[in-house]
């Protein structure tokens, strides 16, 4: 009878530890999901900005071509 009580108490402790572990994992998962959402939003903003910059670059290239403007060549400094 005493052994059954001890076993039951051990099971209760194990269950409580499992509940706590589950709660910690749930909180961690929520934090990860929030971070993931923020990353996705930031990624979409960067994609939008990249598209906008590509359009501007294309317009500049078109104007340079239209007015026969050449970019000066890039001069690399001499390496000693």
pLDDT for residue 76: 74
pLDDT tens-digit map of 37-65: 999 999 999 999 999 999 999 999 999 99
- How confident is the model at residue 6, as a pLDDT? 81
In angstroms, what CA-CA distances link 20 with 3, 11, 28, 34, 64? 26, 14, 12, 21, 65
Query: In 3D, which of 63, 7, 19 has the Cα closest to residue 71?
Result: 63
Are 60 and 53 spatial neighbours (Cβ–Cβ below 8 Å)? Answer: no
pTM exceeds 0.85: no
Torsion of CA 33, 39, 45, 51, to 10 degrees: -120
If pLDDT is split at 50, 70 and 90, which confidence band does 77 have? Answer: confident
């Amino acid at each position: 009878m005493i052994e059954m009580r001890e076993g039951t108490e051990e099971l209760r402790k194990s269950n409580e530890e499992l509940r706590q572990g589950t709660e910690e994992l749930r909180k961690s998962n929520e934090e990860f999901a929030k971070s993931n959402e923020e990353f996705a939003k930031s990624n979409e903003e960067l994609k939008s900005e990249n598209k906008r910059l590509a359009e501007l670059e294309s317009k500049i290239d078109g104007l340079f071509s239209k007015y026969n403007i050449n970019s000066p060549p890039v001069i690399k400094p001499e390496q000693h």
